[in-house]
Structure 1
Amino acid sequence: MQDNLEQFVRTNREAFDDARPSLKVWADIDRALDQKKSRPFQWRKILKSAAAVLLLLLAGGLIGHQISRGTEENTAAETLARISPELAELEAHYNQQINAKFAKLANYPQRETVKADLAQIDETMEELRNEIVKAPAGMEKEIVTNLLRSYQLKVQILERVLERIRANEGDLNNPTLDETSI
């Protein structure tokens, strides 16, 4: 059958080539092309794409920030461990003392004031830990010494507050103490 069709096309080729589409067909094609060109600008697609790109950039930035922050903390801890291996042991010892002494303040109104003072010292200690990474050679030992002094200062503050409370505590039923006596 295919041979018959092929034969028919070959013999009647001139009749096929002679036919031309009418002007109406070309006008319809031209109108269809104009409609496609004048399609309204699609802001939704652009806004969706921009929002997706913005979210990806934001997520990447946050992840990068967390990674770099974790790296800085690890570097500070590694530097402290390298410079002063006994520091971790001393920190544990001082923290145990501080927690025990702070627990004794549970029933006294001075607890919150002391807690705020200790928080300020903790901020300074955190700054020292971050500085140890950037410190020039030879200064690391001084920073470790300052960290240990900060722990000692916290213990001294707590001991002093507890001594004042004991000194002013005449009545065991009244555990209050005014702020000026500290």
Structure 2
Amino acid sequence: MLMAVVRDEDDIEVRLLAGRIRLLRRIAARRRGRRAAAAAAMLVVAGSGVAASVVVHRADAETIGTSVTCYAHADLGSLHGTSAMSSAVGAPVRQLSLTEKADMCALVWKSGLEQAAVDGGHWPDIDPNTSTLPVPPLAFCRLADGTTGGFPIEPPATTSRAVCDRLGLPLLT
């Protein structure tokens, strides 16, 4: 979440800064595919004497409840794909269960996640609905931005808890 600390709300520069922050928020959401990596920075508006802080981004409730990022390995730096469920315009947003998020990760794996990781990020042309590619057992952890991450349970870890602990993330159950 981006937040501005201001002194004079009537100041035009403050309103411009607020607009810039909204624009940065939209750009960041698009660039990250609606998931955010934890980051911190300081933004200073030159000449106005007004400063704004950019704090660690936390995904909004809708993104947290409707998306999952599926990783090729139990490593935050590994190739990954993000799946999100969207609602019809004007319809209430329904939060997905962990089982539904697991099903979404299964589709990412059946789309060739493992092959793409081996092939430098080039995804094969595979229909996940008819694919027979294997889906490994997955551990689901809470990522730094609040969203769900799905990781394969691979040695040395043998349990979901061990995978999340190794990554320094809380286990989702």
Give the TM-score, by structure 1 length: 0.25
Q: Would you tell me which structure has more helix in proportion to its own residues? A: 1
Larger radius of gyration: 1
Structure 1 or 2: more strand by fraction: 2
User: Which fold has the larger relative contact order, with Cα–Cα distance below 8 Å and residues 6 or more apart in sequence?
Assistant: 1
